[in-house]
Amino acid sequence: MQLWQRNRARVWLVILFLSWALSFYGEQKSKAFRGHEEFLTNGLRQIFLELQPVALVTPEGLRVWQSFLGQDPDDTYKEDMLFIIIRDAAEESLLLIQVQKMRRHPDNPRWQSGLEARSVAAVIKGEKVVIENCDFSPEELGRLIPDMLQSIREKKKMLGIKIHFVAKE
């Protein structure tokens, strides 16, 4: 107790500094998306529209989609796994996208284990899309969105799903 009383000013200074630093980090991250925001939000909305009617619905009410990213026609040899969760609520939906790098097992090239995973979280209210959190730079996400859409469409085609949506401009 005495330690807290003696160091109270120091603790408050550390707390204030950390809160200031975190708020500055959030500002910098939102500034990075400013020039690319329309393209990225339209792409995320397109992903949402493509998957909302066709993704598997879990007992918890979440819509789940899994596919792989890459140029190889066989999913066995693709190096990135795409995992998407959509949570629908009354007025808004949460779109969570995770891309995980896969590493081939040295004994069997068909076996893969996950390495790093990065994600994007966005809230969708009607026509408006707000990126809440993103582990990708705007340029990386801009390159990934068309690959994600292609992966989704290829898997839908493979499964025989003919529902296709185009986002309104």
Task: Specify the DSSP class assigned to residue 60.
Answer: T
Flag the least confident range among 6-20, 53-67, 136-150, 151-165: 6-20
Please tell me whether the overall predicted TM-score, pTM, comes out greater than 0.85 for this model: no
User: What's the N-to-C CA distance of the chain in angstroms?
Assistant: 61
Query: If residue 104 lies in a helix (H) or strand (E), which one and from where to where?
Result: strand 93-104
Q: What residue spans define the domains of the chain? A: 36-159
Cα–Cα dist 29/26, whole Å: 5
* 81-122 confidence digits (pLDDT tens): 899 999 988 889 999 999 988 777 777 766 666 678 889 999
